[in-house]
């Protein structure tokens, strides 16, 4: 059982409070989307969950408090893809995905045959085994996202935290990557927490949503409840519209007539 | 469905074999070349004759044997140790700082050693009857103190202990110590020539005692740095990702900087500040083989030794009987090479 529970979490950088009193919980095997405007604190919340920033309050995976275990044990429990992952020039795709095995290896140990097999399986399940030897820094946006997801798979952690996995991708590539994440969620039974900008995509893929604004939770629950026109209008802009197409919520922003855009 | 699956073999045996062969050839060449020319077989037979139970007879006469074993071999072996240590330390520095332009002197080891040596030369007592020569000791301590100062300064930066703050702290410490060293050097101008000669680096004073002095440091530190080579690959994704992959980047960085500095301080103490080796050797390896530190670290160790022995051959033969400082040779080769590397490494500097 690896559910994620965040209770009364606050994060400050210096005197600036980025998150305050944030509480949410994600059930085992569920996909929680964190939505909200730029600067709402989405990335900071994710970084707190993976233990990269100090926080007040409590964050638990199952019954284990983040930070109560060493980095290596945490690496086996939680996998993370930051907003802008580093793809070291000259490193092959295979070697990059192999990094995901780090928490499973002794500090100075070399990878075992078993690790190589896991990496290869991860590459194959994301259909990128064809360019295992390519330079990871030379790939396109969609390809690098697949490579990052392959590393997540190789890490075999029950909780996966993704920060804007589909930012800077075109519509088709974005959809493809989100489908892959859903595939990982269902096949591996992992719990996913992801920041996501595209509200329409969030409605289609996430089981639950948390709407953050200025470091606080504004709404939480299933996408139908959170993607409410009045709630979104209060956080984003008054001209936002939620329409329903084939049972799915589509969020659009209309250009306000005769006036300049403003929040 | 395993077609095209990489074997996981990062360092093919033939690269190791090739680099080892190159090292053997340069060692033999280093012992052969000099005013009295000695044949390769002379070197080999004389070496084998010293190994018990082989019963090989040396083809060298006593005088040639003395030239090889009392004069040239200690110098060649010291060259191997110094070149290997600076190169492997350079590769570790480049890895922990994720910066291909890092070298073992980056955090102030060079500037600290220079200041220590200048103090010993300019103000040290006459140590001819001493048990320990104060010059290498002062250089050794200077190097360690320089890096420790940079580390403490970088550590106390409030915005966080990142690789960049550490590099900036190193730049500040190195500039300060170099300024002090230059000031003392100019003030005590009667020792200027000696100080300057030390700073340019040299293997001239090499004897077996110097070899014995640095050997344990070079072996110990190299073993640690080579053992950590896989983790340097993990560190290349940056501190924040490396920590979510289960590492403590700042601890690993401290450990590797510590061992790289200890080894560097030891070799600098006996050879002076030989420049460029620590940058260009790991770079040559990177350009010719792989960007993985699992390849770069061990190959730098082997090729660094060859490079410095070759540079030393040039240093002592080109203007024979006078010698060019070896630091001048490594820089003369190193600077043009560095320009090429800079042009090719576009985008690699992170």
Please indicate, yes or no, if residue A262 is contained in any of the structural domains: no
Please indicate, yes or no, if residue A259 is contained in any of the structural domains: no
On whether the CB atoms of residues B272 and B199 are closer than 8 A, the answer is yes
Q: Which of A51, A78, A124 sits opposite B1 (nearest CB)?
A: A124
Please indicate, yes or no, if residue A258 is contained in any of the structural domains: no
On whether the CB atoms of residues A66 and A95 are closer than 8 A, the answer is no
What is the DSSP code (8-state) at residue B91? H
Cβ contacts of B344 on chain A, cutoff 8 Å: none
On whether the CB atoms of residues B247 and A101 are closer than 8 A, the answer is no
Please indicate, yes or no, if residue A168 is contained in any of the structural domains: yes
Query: What integer is the mean pLDDT of A175-187?
Result: 91
| Integer Cα distance of A44 and A41 in angstroms | 5
Cβ contacts of A120 on chain B, cutoff 8 Å: 2, 5
Q: pLDDT category, A223, cuts 50, 70, 90?
A: very high
CATH class of the structural domain B13-344: mainly alpha
Please indicate, yes or no, if residue A27 is contained in any of the structural domains: yes
Phi and psi at A7, nearest 5°, equal -130, 125
Phi and psi at B102, nearest 5°, equal -75, 150
How far apart are the CA of B241 and the nearest CA of chain A, in angstroms?
Answer: 8
On whether the CB atoms of residues A77 and A159 are closer than 8 A, the answer is yes
How far apart are the CA of A47 and the nearest CA of chain B, in angstroms?
Answer: 9
User: How many residues in chain A?
Assistant: 263
How far apart are the CA of B92 and the nearest CA of chain A, in angstroms?
Answer: 15
For residue A33, what pLDDT is reported?
96
Q: Which residue of A has its CA nearest to B236?
A: A88
What 3-state DSSP class applies to A221? strand
For residue B5, what pLDDT is reported?
65
Q: Is the peptide bond before B321 cis (omega within 30 degrees of 0)?
A: yes
| Integer Cα distance of B307 and B310 in angstroms | 5
Between the CA of residue B270 and those of B75, B101, B139, B174, B310, what are the distances in Å? 11, 25, 9, 20, 18
Using the Cα atoms of residue B184, residue B187, residue B192 and residue B194 in order, give the sign of their dihedral.
Answer: negative
Q: Which residue of B has its CA nearest to A51?
A: B244
For residue B37, what pLDDT is reported?
86
Of B12, B5, B237, B160, nearest to A129 by C-alpha is: B5
| Integer Cα distance of B228 and A110 in angstroms | 10
Q: Is A99 on the interface with B (CB under 8 A)?
A: yes
On whether the CB atoms of residues A75 and B245 are closer than 8 A, the answer is yes
| Integer Cα distance of B219 and B227 in angstroms | 12
Query: What integer is the mean pLDDT of A199-211?
Result: 94
Q: Determine the residue among A13, A88, A97 to mutate to test chain B binding: the one whose Cβ has the most chain B Cβ atoms within 10 Å.
A: A88
Q: What ipTM is given for this predicted complex?
A: 0.88
Residue-wise pLDDT for A43-76, tens only, equals 999 999 999 999 999 999 988 998 888 999 999 9
Report the side by side order of strands in the sheet with A4-13. Answer: A16-26, A4-13, A56-61, A64-65
Please indicate, yes or no, if residue A178 is contained in any of the structural domains: yes
How far apart are the CA of B298 and the nearest CA of chain A, in angstroms?
Answer: 15
Between the CA of residue B329 and those of A24, B84, B284, what are the distances in Å? 65, 17, 17
Calculate the CA B104 to chain-centre distance.
7
Please indicate, yes or no, if residue A41 is contained in any of the structural domains: yes
Q: Which of B1, B6, B286 sits opposite A94 (nearest CB)?
A: B6
Residue-wise pLDDT for A34-50, tens only, equals 999 999 999 999 999 99
Q: Is A89 on the interface with B (CB under 8 A)?
A: yes
For residue B2, what pLDDT is reported?
52
Give how many domains chain A has, as a whole number: 1
- Interhelix angle B73-96/B277-288, rounded to 10 degrees, is 70
Task: Please report, for chain B, the start and end positions of each structural domain, with discontinuous segments joined by +.
Answer: 13-344
How far apart are the CA of B19 and the nearest CA of chain A, in angstroms?
Answer: 22
Residue-wise pLDDT for B234-272, tens only, equals 999 998 899 999 999 989 999 999 999 999 999 999 999
> What residue numbers bound the domain in which A220 lies?
4-253
Query: What integer is the mean pLDDT of A105-129?
Result: 91
Please indicate, yes or no, if residue A261 is contained in any of the structural domains: no
Q: pLDDT category, A1, cuts 50, 70, 90?
A: low
The CA R_g of chain B, rounded to the nearest whole Å, is 21
| Integer Cα distance of B69 and A23 in angstroms | 75
Q: Which residues of chain B have a pLDDT value below 70?
A: 1-9, 127-131, 158-161, 338, 341-342, 344-350
On whether the CB atoms of residues A52 and A75 are closer than 8 A, the answer is no
A78 forms bridges with which residues in the sheet? Answer: A159
Q: Is B231 on the interface with A (CB under 8 A)?
A: yes
A78-81 vs A159-163, strand pairing mode: parallel
For residue B9, what pLDDT is reported?
58
Scan for tokens 């096949």, then name that residue: A187
Of A103, A1, A10, nearest to A59 by C-alpha is: A10
Calculate the CA A128 to chain-centre distance.
21
User: Residue B109 is encoded by which pair of tokens?
Assistant: 């080891």
Q: Is the pLDDT of residue A146 over 60?
A: yes
Residues of chain A with pLDDT > 70: what percent? 97
Phi and psi at B301, nearest 5°, equal -60, -45
Cβ contacts of A152 on chain B, cutoff 8 Å: none
For residue B77, what pLDDT is reported?
97
User: Residue A112 is encoded by which pair of tokens?
Assistant: 């075992």
């Amino acid at each position: 059982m690896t559910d994620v529970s965040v209770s009364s979490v606050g994060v400050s950088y210096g005197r600036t409070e980025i998150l305050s009193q944030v509480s949410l919980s994600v059930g085992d095997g569920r996909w929680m989307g964190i939505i909200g405007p730029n600067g709402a604190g989405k990335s900071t919340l994710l970084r707190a969950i993976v233990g990269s920033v100090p926080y007040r309050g409590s964050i638990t995976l199952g019954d284990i408090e983040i930070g109560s275990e060493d980095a290596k044990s945490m690496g086996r429990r939680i996998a993370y893809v930051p907003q802008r992952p580093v793809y070291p020039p000259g490193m092959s795709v295979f070697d990059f995905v192999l990094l995901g095995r780090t928490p499973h290896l002794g500090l100075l140990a070399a990878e075992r045959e078993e690790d190589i097999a896991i990496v290869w399986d991860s590459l194959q399940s994301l259909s990128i085994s064809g360019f295992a030897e390519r330079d990871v820094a030379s790939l396109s946006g969609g390809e690098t996202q697949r490579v990052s997801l392959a590393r997540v798979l190789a890490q075999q952690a029950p909780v996966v935290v993704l920060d804007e996995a589909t930012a800077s991708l075109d519509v088709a590539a974005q959809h493809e990557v989100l489908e892959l994440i859903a595939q990982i969620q269902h096949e591996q039974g992992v719990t996913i927490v992801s920041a996501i900008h595209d509200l329409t995509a969030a409605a289609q893929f996430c089981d639950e949503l948390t709407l953050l604004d200025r470091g606080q939770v504004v709404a939480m629950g299933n996408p139908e409840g959170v993607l409410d026109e009045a709630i979104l209008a209060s956080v984003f802009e008054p001209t936002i519209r939620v329409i329903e197409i084939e049972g799915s919520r589509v969020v659009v922003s209309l250009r306000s007539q005769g006036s300049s855009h403003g929040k | 469905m395993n077609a095209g699956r990489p074997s996981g073999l990062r360092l093919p045996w033939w690269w190791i074999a090739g680099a080892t062969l190159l090292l053997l050839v340069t060692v033999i060449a280093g012992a052969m070349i000099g005013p009295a020319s000695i044949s390769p077989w002379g070197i080999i037979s004389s070496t084998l004759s010293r190994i018990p139970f082989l019963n090989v007879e040396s083809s060298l006469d006593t005088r040639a044997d003395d030239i090889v074993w009392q004069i040239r071999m200690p110098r060649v072996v010291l060259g191997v140790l110094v070149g290997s240590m600076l190169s492997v330390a350079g590769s570790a520095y480049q890895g922990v700082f994720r910066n291909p332009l890092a070298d073992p002197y980056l955090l102030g080891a060079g500037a600290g050693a220079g200041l220590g040596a200048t103090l010993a030369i300019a103000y040290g007592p006459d140590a001819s009857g001493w048990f320990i020569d104060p010059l290498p000791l002062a250089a050794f301590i200077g190097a360690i103190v320089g890096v420790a100062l940079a580390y403490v300064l970088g550590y106390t930066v409030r915005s966080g202990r990142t690789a960049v703050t550490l590099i900036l702290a190193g730049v500040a410490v190195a500039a300060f110590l170099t300024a002090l060293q230059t000031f003392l050097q100019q003030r005590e101008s009667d020792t200027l020539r000696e100080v300057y000669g030390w700073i340019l680096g040299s293997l001239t004073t090499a004897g077996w005692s110097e070899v014995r002095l640095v050997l344990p440091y070079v072996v110990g530190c190299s073993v640690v740095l080579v053992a950590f080579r896989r983790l340097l690959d993990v560190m290349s994704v940056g501190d924040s990702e490396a920590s979510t992959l289960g590492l403590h980047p700042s601890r690993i960085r401290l450990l590797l900087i510590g061992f790289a500095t200890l080894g560097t301080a030891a070799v600098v103490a006996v050879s002076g500040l030989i420049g460029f080796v620590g940058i260009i050797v790991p770079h040559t390896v990177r350009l010719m083989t792989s960007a993985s530190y699992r390849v770069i670290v061990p190959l730098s160790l082997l090729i660094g030794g060859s490079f410095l022995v070759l540079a030393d051959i040039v240093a002592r033969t080109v203007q024979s009987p006078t010698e060019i400082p070896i630091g001048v040779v490594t820089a003369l080769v190193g600077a043009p090479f560095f320009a090429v590397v800079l042009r090719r490494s576009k985008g690699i500097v992170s």
